[in-house]
Chain A
Amino acid sequence: MTETQTTAEAVATTGRALLEARDLHVQFSSRGRRARAVDGVNLAVGAGEIVALVGESGCGKTTLARTLLGLERPTSGEVRYGGAPLSYSSRALKDYRRQVQLVLQDPMGSLNPRHTVYEAVAEGPRIHGLPDEREIVTTALSRAGLRPPDRFFLRYPHELSGGQRQRVVIAGALALDPKVLIADEPVASLDASVRGEILALLLRLRSELGLSALVVTHDLGLAWNIADRVAVMYLGRIVESGPVEQVLTAPRHPYTQALMSVLPESPERVVLTGEPPDPTRIPGGCRFHARCQVLASGQAAEAGVDARCRGELLDILPAVPEAQTACHYAATTT
C-alpha cells in the first residue's frame, strides 16, 4: 500500500472525513481476562464538523478518544487523519498532535497550579519550537474568550473561576492552531450558568476557525446544544449514529431510547436493570440483549427476531453520515 493509493482510496470512500476510525479494535488484558474496550468502530469526523460521542462510563468512549489521539495503539484497525493512516513514530505523533488536540475535563486537574496562565498556554508552542510565542499566547487567550489577554498572563489557576480555567485549557489547545479538538466531558465539572458559555465558545471556534470537534460526553443535552452528528456507544461499539435532530428526536436503538427516556421531563422512563456493562464479558448475539427492554417486553418476539437478538451478531456500522442503527428489531420496522 503506497501513500498515493491510500489517499485516493480514502477520498473515494469517505469524501470529506478529516479524522477517521476504521474497524478499530482496542483490547486490554485485565486480571487475566481480555477487555474489548473498543470492539469494532467506524467513525468519521469531517472538516468543520462537531460530533458527539455519547455513552455511559465503561462503554469505551474515552478509550476510543485516546486511540484517535494516538495515545493508545489499536489492536487492529486504523486511525486515519487527512486520508492517511496514523504513523506511530514519535516524530510523526508529535506532528499529529499539533493537528489534533485534546481538551480535558476538570481544568483544576489538568492545569499545573504553579504555572501562570501564560506558561500554561505557552507550553505547547515551546515544545514544538514555534516562533513568536507571545503573539501565539495572546491570540489563543483572546480566541478562548479571555480578554484582554495580557491581563491574564500572570494569573495562577487558583485565582481564576472554573469557567476561566476551562478557557485557559482550551487556549492551550488552540495555541498550536489545530484542526480538530477532542474534548472529553468539556463542561461536566463546570457550573450550570458557565456551561452554556463554554459550549457557545466551541461553536464559535468552529464558525471562526473551521475547527472540527469530537466531544465525548454522557450528556445528551450537550449533543443537542452543539453537535451536528451523534454516535451512541455501548460496550465498545457504536450502536446508533446520525444527524442529531434525527437520532435524538426519533431514536431507533432501544439503548438510545432508554438513555433519552431517563432525561428529566421525559414522559415514560425506561430504567435499565441488569449488570452494568463489562467489556471483559461482552454477551453473544446483540451485545445489548441482556438489558434490552424491547426484548424483555416481548416486542422482539412478536416481530420474530428474539432468537436473532440472543444469538446473531450484528454488523459493524459503517462511517456514514446518514442515520443508522445496529438492532435486529429496528431493522424489521423500517
Chain B
Amino acid sequence: MSETTQQARQPGTPGAGLLELDDVSVTYRIAAGEVPAVRGVSLTLGSGSALGIAGESGSGKSTLAMALLRLLPKDARIGGRILLDGEDVLAMKWGRLRAVRWAGASIVFQGAQHGLNPVRRIGDQIAEPLLVHDLARPEAARKRVAELLDQVGLPAWRARSYPHELSGGQRQRVMIAMALACAPKLIIADEPTTALDVMVQAQVLTLIKELVAEHGISLIMISHDLSVLADVCDRLAVMYAGRVIEHGPSAEVFHAARHPYSRALAAAFPTVGDPASRMAPRGLGGDPPDPMRLPGGCSFHPRCPVALDGCASLDVELWPAGPDRTAACVHVREKEEAS
C-alpha cells in the first residue's frame, strides 16, 4: 500500500489542488455527428475537501466524472487538461493509468446492485484491487478486507457473504469499501445514494462524510439532488448543457443561488415545513436540451424564467458573483458590473 501511495505522490505544483481541471471538454463521435457532452469545464479540488457536482441527466456531470480517470468509451474525445496531484491524466501511459485508478482515485458508481459480481464472495471482490495491483499478499489482503469492512460499518464475517445476502445499503457500503481498498486520495461518487431508502441514504451519507473528515480523502460527489450535495460537500458546481453555470460554497449556492437554473434545482426538493412550497411543487418548464442541438446564446434561455431578449444570442461566461463564487448569467454580470 505504502509503495503506491509514494508512487502516486509525484511532486505536485506547490500550492496547487489535488485535482485541477483546465478547460476540459468531452465530445462523443457518433454516426449522427459530434455530441459535445462537456464543454470547457475548469475546476480545482483541494486536498481533503469535497466538491459536489449537480445537474440533470444530459448535463455532462457523469461524463465529466468518467473523464477524470479516462473511463469513457473509445468514441469519446477528451480535450483540455486534467491534473491529478500534479500529473497529467490525459498524458498517462496505460500502465500508469491503471495504477492511478484505484490507488490514486477510485469511483463509487450508482446502482450498487450491478457493480458487484453476484457469484463471488464480497471479501474476494474487495481484495481484488489489492491483489491485482500487487499491494498485498493474500494473507495481508484478508486482514485489510476486515479493516475496510469495519471502516464502512460492516462486521468482518460479511466477507464470506454473497451480494444477494446483503441489503441495498450494505451493498453500497461494500462498494465504498472497494473504493477505499487501495487508500486513494480521491473518491468520485456518482449518485451513491440514488435508489436507497431515506434512512439508508442517511447512513451512507454519514459514512461518506466521516471518511472525508477522518481520513483526509478528497471527494467528488455527483447528484441531481442539491440538498444532498449541500449536506456533504464544501463547494458546489452546478452543470447545465455541459458547462458549469454556477460554482461556490455549498450553503450559498443552495440557499442563495445566483443562476436561475441553480435556483430551480434548489427549489425542486422542498424543505418540509416551508409554507412557500406547500401545495406548490416547483419545477422548470421544458426539458434539458439535446446536446446535439444546443440552443444558441445562453443554452438555458428557452427554459429561463428571467431571460432577456439578448439571452438568445449572448452566451455569458462564468462571472464573479461574490466572494469565491461565480455564475454564468447576464443578470449576475449586470449587477456585478454596476457595483
Contacts and interface: CB of A to CB of B under 8 A. Distances in A.
A249 B271 CA distance: 11
Nearest to B303: A193
Contacts of A198: 283
Nearest to B203: A271
Interface string B190-223: 0000000111111100100000000000000000
A203 interface: yes
B287 A163 contact: yes
Interface in B220-245: 224-228, 230-231
A265 B283 contact: no
Interface residues of A, number: 40
B316 interface: no
Interface residues of B, number: 43
Given A225-B277, A226-B281, A196 B272 contact: no
B281 A225 contact: yes
Nearest to B224: A192
A56 B281 contact: no
B16 interface: no
A113 interface: no
6 A-B pairs with the lowest CB-CB distances in the bound complex, closest first: A196-B283, A199-B281, A262-B202, A264-B227, A161-B287, A191-B56
B279 interface: yes
Contacts of B226: 192
24 contacts: A162-B57, A191-B224, A192-B225, A192-B269, A193-B56, A196-B267, A196-B283, A199-B283, A203-B281, A218-B197, A224-B270, A224-B278, A225-B278, A225-B279, A225-B281, A249-B272, A259-B198, A264-B227, A264-B269, A265-B230, A269-B202, A271-B202, A276-B167, A276-B200
Contact of A197 (B206, B269, B278, B283): B283
Nearest to B255: A265
Contacts of A195: 268, 281, 283
A283 B280 CA distance: 39
Interface of A: 56-57, 161-164, 191-200, 203, 218-221, 223-226, 244-245, 248-249, 258-260, 262-265, 269, 271-272, 276
A198 B231 CA distance: 26
Given A264-B227, A269-B202, A193 B264 contact: yes
Nearest to A57: B197
B291 to A, nearest CB: 13
Nearest to B201: A262
Q: Which of A193, A225, A249, A260 has the most CB of B within 10 A?
A: A193
B133 interface: no
Nearest to A223: B272
B270 A221 contact: yes
A200 B282 CA distance: 8
Contact of B57 (A57, A191, A218, A271): A191
B230 A264 contact: yes
A287 to B, nearest CB: 16
Nearest to B168: A57
A35 B167 CA distance: 17
A115 to B, nearest CB: 21
A106 to B, nearest CB: 11
A221 to B, nearest CB: 5
A9 B227 CA distance: 48
Contacts of A203: 279, 281
A161 to B, nearest CB: 4
Contacts of B206: 269, 271
Contacts of B274: 224
B198 A56 contact: yes
A221 B230 contact: no
Contacts of B273: 224, 248-249
B61 to A, nearest CB: 12
B146 interface: no
A224 B269 CA distance: 10
A249 B277 CA distance: 13
Nearest to B278: A224
